[in-house]
Amino acid sequence: MTIRPILGALAIGLLATAATAQQRVAVITPYLAQPGTQFYIDGFEAAASPDWDINVIDTAGDIAAVISRIEDAVTQNVDAIVINVDPAQVSAGLQTAMEAGIPVVGMDAGMSDMLATNVTSNGYAMAAETSVYVANRLAGAGNVVMFVFDPFPPVQIRGAIADAVFANHPDINVIARVTPDVQDGGIADSRAQMEALLAANPEPGSINAVWAAWDQPALGALQAIEDAGRADEGIVIVGMDANPQAREAIAAGGNFEASMAQDFAGIGAAAADAVARLLAGETIAQPVIYVPTVLITTANVDE
């Protein structure tokens, strides 16, 4: 990455000439209409410097238009660009920005050597929290069913961490490592798979926990356990992402005990912080900046 220092120098040069002018930051996303994205943007704007002229551009789902708008921002010679889209799909635009020496920050975008940095949640840490939660609840001993999805890299790393945590407890047995069919969102097939596992392990107490790499399989497992009349066996279920349905299940105080919530506004704020550092001429060494996530249990689900 010999280009980085050159870019840094270029950025400083640009700054020196435009020291008094308002700094312009273009935030470009195809997903503004989605609720999660709004949280990113709100967090970004709240943490942004009052001196910035922020232009939020939504392309209504059109990825090619994201490239076009990055090109326009480069033509305009903005001071920094923030994107919230897979960098691999807009690399044509990122290349233009790179050639112009304009830093681009990813806001939960994905890793790319054409981004100054990408701000996101740490999937490894999230998986560690929920799997350790399970291990602790079982006091280090018991039978666990895992729901994983290795074909999708961000979910695969969650499974890998949970594998390591459970393997580190000699008395925890992973009795099944299920990859559900996700065509329908993952709830229905997870439920069917869990029903089969419950049928195969009829003894009460033969399954102690369900660890799911995202919320949908956890919800499917919950349905199967409740319908099998085994909700009172104390089977611990954990999911991840803390979607509204999962929060409802956790709040109900049943088997679904915990999930992880990403801090979307925090990701936006950290992206603003990264932009401020870049505008100050700093080079950010980390390709990825992680924003802490929060374990959601009955204790904090209503917050």
- Interacting residues with another protein (CB under 8 A): 24, 32, 53, 55-65, 67-69, 71-73, 75-77, 86, 88-92, 95, 183
Give whichever of 80 and 144 is closer to another protein, judged by the CB atom: 80
Give whichever of 7 and 54 is closer to another protein, judged by the CB atom: 54
Locate all alpha helices (DSSP H) within 88-122, ordered by sequence: 91-99
**281 Cβ neighbours under 8 A, 6+ residues apart:** 8, 11, 12, 15
Give me the least distance between CB of 280 and another protein, in Å please: 23
For residue 196, give Cα distances in angstroms to 174, 180, 225.
16, 13, 11
CA neighbor of 125 nearest in space, from 219, 262, 271: 262
**DSSP-assigned letter for residue 283:** P
> Which SS3 state, helix, strand or coil, does residue 288 take?
strand
Give whichever of 148 and 258 is closer to another protein, judged by the CB atom: 148
Half-sphere exposure of 71 (CA within 13 A, CB side): 10
Give whichever of 2 and 183 is closer to another protein, judged by the CB atom: 183
Give me the least distance between CB of 26 and another protein, in Å please: 8
Name residue 210's beta-bridge partners: 145, 237
H/E element, 114: none
Q: Is the dihedral of CA 145, 150, 151, 152 positive or negative?
A: positive
Give me the least distance between CB of 288 and another protein, in Å please: 17
Give whichever of 153 and 204 is closer to another protein, judged by the CB atom: 153
CA neighbor of 194 nearest in space, from 182, 208, 178: 178
Is the CB of residue 192 less than 8 Å from the CB of residue 218? no
Give me the least distance between CB of 22 and another protein, in Å please: 11
Report d(CA 236, CA 139) in Å as an integer: 12
Give whichever of 63 and 252 is closer to another protein, judged by the CB atom: 63
Give whichever of 149 and 166 is closer to another protein, judged by the CB atom: 149
Is the CB of residue 228 less than 8 Å from the CB of residue 195? yes
Give me the least distance between CB of 100 and another protein, in Å please: 10
Give whichever of 26 and 258 is closer to another protein, judged by the CB atom: 26
Strands 294-296 and 256-261: antiparallel
Give me the least distance between CB of 211 and another protein, in Å please: 25
SS3 content of the chain, % helix, strand, coil (to 5): 45, 20, 35
Give me the least distance between CB of 68 and another protein, in Å please: 4
Give me the least distance between CB of 292 and another protein, in Å please: 28
Amino acid at site 296: I
